[in-house]
Amino acid sequence: MNLSSNNIEHLLTTSDPQAVDELFAEACRVRDKVYGRKVFMRGLIEISNHCKNDCLYCGIRRSNLSVKRYRLSKEQILDCCRTGRELGFRTFVLQGGEDAWFTDDIVCDIVRDIKRQFPDCAITLSLGERGYDSFRRLREAGADRYLLRHETADATHYSYLHPADMSFEHRMQCLRDLRSLGFQVGAGFMVGSPGQTLDTLMKDLAFIADFRPEMVGIGPFIPAADTPFENQVAGSVDMTVRLLAIIRLLHPSVLLPATSALGTMHPKGRERAIMAGANVVMPNLSPQDTRALYSIYNNKLATGSEAAESAADIRLRLHAIGMEVPDDRGDHVEMKSYNS
């Protein structure tokens, strides 16, 4: 398929349903060639909603005083992993706000204990920006992957979405540091975030084609109550799935989740993403009583097919669209020899 900038812009804006269907079909062919008709499951554990940052879009931003804050203990995190391991998960994603309580010592200790108890499982961290030495220690403790969405590849747009004490340069530096330390790196962005234009999206795609992150997380922006963007309109499901397909074509071996934000916006959001070339789902493995508190956006789904305890149902729904759901770590293909 023609992936010139002109044609990508056409694919993102066309109202010709046949062109869009062909895009999706081609993205699925490319995914199936690299990974087979497989969807990899990851269990998402939201370890803390304390955050020192004040990202304008995010419901758990520091200045949102209406959020009840929590953090999980090591024992709670290990319990989540135990439940997940029994449900067939072989990857645990520890995500949280930037919470200074989770020092390097504490996170390394948790990572080592998870690896000791579940040696066949991969650990993904998603704890925001840290320094090179911190990332190095987490990697040495056994973390395999790190998710840090770049949020937007346009520096001016970045400063529209973030307060002045956060910088585009530092976020990008973190991604380069993670890469150089041997992490499988996840980048990504919200679709339809305030201030986003076709031009900033084209920069996101160029960044992905150039940096080639092992994983790319994209989902629609959804307004969060009590944030500066609470009255903005949400991003579109249609645009998100088109972007998923284009990312698959630009970077065939990418691991591409059908995100919860997509599932929240549309009851068939996950299926639509898979049929556009996605190949990862990340159901929620957090303790039941903290799920509602990790409210990065309104009405975030953590039940039904977004809940890890529904793993059997998730498998059925994926089988129904012709996908297998293997019980393996689901590493990025070019990294297999590296990690085994």
Binding site for ligand SAH (CB under 6 A): 57-58, 95, 97-98, 126, 128, 148-149, 151, 190, 219, 221-222, 224, 261, 296-297
Closest approach, Cβ 206 to ligand SAH, in A, equals 19
Backbone phi and psi for residue 64, each to the nearest 5 degrees, phi listed first: -80, 100
Closest approach, Cβ 10 to ligand SAH, in A, equals 26
Closest approach, Cβ 149 to ligand SAH, in A, equals 4
Sign, CA torsion 195/223/302/322: negative
List the structure tokens of 173: 């530096």
Closest approach, Cβ 205 to ligand SAH, in A, equals 16
Closest approach, Cβ 219 to ligand SAH, in A, equals 6
Instruction: Rank residues 12 and 178 by Cβ distance to ligand SAH and give the closer one.
Output: 178
Instruction: Rank residues 220 and 330 by Cβ distance to ligand SAH and give the closer one.
Output: 220
- 218, containing H or E segment: strand 215-220
How far, CA to CA in Å, does 209 sit from each of 34, 78, 153, 326? 17, 36, 12, 28
Q: Among residues 234, 239, 229, 275, which one has the least CA distance to residue 256? A: 275
Q: Among residues 290, 292, 262, which one has the least CA distance to residue 274? A: 262
Closest approach, Cβ 185 to ligand SAH, in A, equals 12
Q: H helices of the chain, where?
A: 5-13, 17-35, 74-86, 104-117, 132-141, 155-161, 168-180, 198-211, 237-250, 260-265, 269-274, 288-291, 311-320, 336-339
Closest approach, Cβ 221 to ligand SAH, in A, equals 5
Instruction: Rank residues 32 and 98 by Cβ distance to ligand SAH and give the closer one.
Output: 98
Q: Among residues 190, 186, 197, 135, which one has the least CA distance to residue 162? A: 190
What span, in angstroms and rounded, lies between the C-alpha atoms of 45 and 81? 8
Instruction: Rank residues 149 and 248 by Cβ distance to ligand SAH and give the closer one.
Output: 149
Residue 246, judged by CB atoms within 10 A of its CB (0-12, 13-18, 19+), counts as buried
Closest approach, Cβ 26 to ligand SAH, in A, equals 27
Instruction: Rank residues 124 and 279 by Cβ distance to ligand SAH and give the closer one.
Output: 124
Instruction: Rank residues 45 and 323 by Cβ distance to ligand SAH and give the closer one.
Output: 45
Instruction: Concatenate the DSSP letters of all residues of 133-192 into one string.
Output: HHHHHHHHHT--EEE---B-S-HHHHHHHS-TTS-HHHHHHHHHHHHHTT-EEEEEEEET
Instruction: Rank residues 20 and 282 by Cβ distance to ligand SAH and give the closer one.
Output: 282
Instruction: Rank residues 95 and 200 by Cβ distance to ligand SAH and give the closer one.
Output: 95
Closest approach, Cβ 34 to ligand SAH, in A, equals 25
Instruction: Rank residues 58 and 107 by Cβ distance to ligand SAH and give the closer one.
Output: 58
